[in-house]
Amino acid sequence: MASAVTFEKELLPVAQGSGKLVLDLGDLTFIDSSGLRALVQLSEQMNGSAPLVLSNVPHGVQRLLDIVGLDTLPGIEVRNDA
Amino acid sequence: MPERTSAKVIPLGERLRQHREEQGLSQAQAARELDVARTAYRLWELEAAKPSPDRWRLIARWLGVSISTMLLGEDLIDQEDAVAADRIANRAANGAEERWDDIAASSPGDFFEQERSTIAHQLRSGRITTAESGKLTALLDHVLEGVESRADQPAAGAFRKEMVADSSAPEIARTALVVTAAGVNESIIDRAELLTSELVTDAVERSDGSLWLAITLHPDLLRVEAAAESARMEQPRSRDQRSRWSLTITSELASRWGAGWESDLYVSWFEIDLPGASSVWS
């Protein structure tokens, strides 16, 4: 919850007016619904200019994305290169 | 059990955290370097679980301290014994080609068997005296006794706390969960951490001030309960996408869950069935 607030504060300005944004989640060890909401808000901030790309999504995080169907939302793209 | 001890006794958990931060590592990265599960490593830093003796050599090397220093931080030997053991080992190593720990690590058996055979080897080689051999053997017996008495202690299985309902509460609750459920299978801890975060986030959003958290570890069940003091018998203000996801996650991952009003408290809980027994050692 606290980390999600920090994340929003740091990244929302970056997303505004930017092109493609890729988040490498390789070192992400925990995320909950507050963190997912922060990701969606980030993608919404990009205003459909380009998708928010989530890369190197760890297995546990991918499971959570599957449960809530986050990767089916428009504006979010999951790319696992590993 | 070689080398030098420092004057100040630093608990192992604190020493691990300090070293990890000095190296700029996350807990997950430190766990990888020590070839241990992330949850187990976290518990070591929190002093909620103890590394088993077969990990001691690797941890001491990673920290750059002697095993005596590490065991001093684990409260398994006292400062005087640690200094004496290091002095004997240092003298034995003086002029020898191999370090005490290298000889021990290449010996068969568990940590204690390795140390015993190294003591015997050093005695045969004339690098330590009979008196020193006796001192080290007695010390080793003392450490083994300490380890065995710890293994007999039941794991702490309950946590009760009134907390401030702010944005830091979910993370505090997750830490409490990890400590209380120490020894439980890591994949179950991961599930329970997520569910606890969802439960407490919801409680924070509903609360007018305080919330109470209760975590109980039974042999076959982990139960977490949050109670939020709230005058509003209504949905929280932000019954939004996050809250709907939270509900979906809870339905998917909890064995059982529930929520409802008890007077002016909104009480929510979940349970996860545990497939096996827990252990203090990791």
The alpha helices in B94-229, defined as continuous H runs, are: 100-105, 111-124, 130-152, 169-180, 186-206
Task: Kindly state whether residue B229 falls inside one of the protein's structural domains.
Answer: yes
| ipTM score for this prediction | 0.84
pLDDT for position B282? 44
Mean pLDDT, rounded, for A15-33: 82
Identify the residue with better confidence: B225 or A10.
B225
Spatial distance between the Cα atoms of A4 and A13, rounded to a whole number of angstroms? 15
Q: What is the pLDDT of residues B267-279, one digit of tens each?
A: 899 999 998 544 4
pLDDT confidence of residue B273? 94
Are A57 and A78 in contact by the 8 Å Cβ rule? The answer is: yes
Amino acid at B266: Y
Beta carbons within 10 angstroms of residue B190's beta carbon: 18
B85 and B214 part of one domain: no
Q: Which residues of A touch B167 (CB under 8 A)?
A: 1-2, 5
* C-alpha triplet B274, B243, B175: angle, nearest 5°: 45
Domain count, chain B: 2
Q: Report pLDDT for B234.
A: 58
Q: Are residues B145 and B35 in the same domain?
A: yes
pLDDT score of B251 more than 90: yes
Model pLDDT, residue A59: 87
3-state SS, residue B275: coil
Please count the other Cβ atoms lying within 10 Å of the Cβ belonging to residue B175: 15
Q: Are residues B18 and B65 in the same domain?
A: yes
Q: Give me the pLDDT at residue B106, please.
A: 87
Best mutation target among A8, A27, A34 (most B Cβ atoms within 10 Å) is A34
Nearest-neighbour CA in chain A from B140: distance (Å): 38
pLDDT in the model for residue B271: 95
Do B197 and A1 make contact, defined as CB atoms within 8 angstroms? yes
Contact, B221 vs B274, CB < 8 A?
A: yes
* Closest by Cα among B131, B134, B102 to B118: B102
CB within 8 Å: B28 and A40: no
Beta strand ranges found along chain B (DSSP E):
158-164, 210-218, 221-229, 256-262, 265-273
CATH of residue B216's domain is: 3.30.565.10
pLDDT, tens digit, 9 for 90 and up, residues B38-68: 777 887 887 777 898 999 999 999 999 999 9
Phi-psi bin for B170: left (phi > 0), alpha (psi -120 to 50), beta?
Answer: alpha
DSSP class of residue B138? H
Give the alpha-carbon dihedral of A42, A45, A50, A53, to 10 degrees.
0
- Is residue B253 pLDDT above 90, yes or no? yes
Tokens of B260: 């409802």
Strand partners, B193: none
- Choosing from B121, B151, B181, the residue where a domain stops is B151
Q: Where are chain A's structural domains?
A: 2-79
Residue type, B80: E
Give B128-170 pLDDT, tens digit per residue: 999 999 999 999 999 999 988 876 665 558 888 888 899 899 9
Q: Bridge-partner residues for B165, per DSSP?
A: none
Residue B141 lies in a domain: yes
Give chain A's contact residues with B (Cβ, < 8 Å).
Answer: 1-3, 5, 27, 29-30, 32-34, 36-37, 40, 60, 64, 67-68
Assess whether B138 and B164 both reside in one domain.
no
Overall average pLDDT of the A49-75 stretch: 86
Interface of B with A (CB under 8 A): 26-29, 38, 167-171, 174, 190, 193-194, 197-198, 201, 204, 240-243, 245-246, 248-249, 252-253
Range of the domain at B110: 12-151
State the Cα–Cα distance between residues B244 and A40, nearest whole angstrom. 14
My answer on whether B120 and B174 are in the same domain is: no
Work out the minimum CA distance from B102 to partner chain A, whole angstroms.
34
> Can you give the pLDDT at residue B93?
77
What six digits make up the tokens of B229? 């003091």
Same domain, B87 and B204: no
Handedness of CA A61, B174, B53, B135 (dihedral sign): positive
Side chain identity, residue A13: P
CB contact under 8 A, B28 and A67: no
Using a pLDDT cut of 90, give the percent of chain B over it.
Answer: 44
State pLDDT tens for residues A27-54: 888 999 999 998 888 888 877 677 889 9
CA gap B29, B55 in Å, rounded = 17
Element (H, E) at B87: helix B79-93
B81 lies in the same domain as B208: no
User: B208-212, B258-262, B277-281: which has the minimum mean pLDDT?
Assistant: B277-281
Residue of B26, B38, B194 lying closest to A32 (CB–CB):
B194
pLDDT for B64: 92
B246 and B268 part of one domain:
yes
Q: Is the pLDDT of residue A24 over 60?
A: yes
Q: Which fold has domain A2-79?
A: Transcription Regulator spoIIAA (3.30.750)
Residue B208 neighbours by CB distance under 10 Å: 12
Average pLDDT over residues B218-230: 89
Mean pLDDT of chain B: 85
Side chain identity at residue B21, one-letter code: E
Task: For B68-122, write each residue's pLDDT tens digit.
Answer: 989 998 889 998 998 899 888 888 877 666 778 888 888 899 999 999 999 998 8
Chain B residues within 8 A of A67 when measuring between CB atoms: 248-249, 252-253
Residue B178, burial from CB neighbour count under 10 angstroms (0-12, 13-18, 19+): buried
Task: List the one residue out of B26, B104, B94 whose CA is nearest residue B58.
Answer: B104
Q: Give A-chain residues touching B253 at CB under 8 angstroms.
A: 67
List CB contacts (< 8 A) between A27 and chain B.
26, 28-29
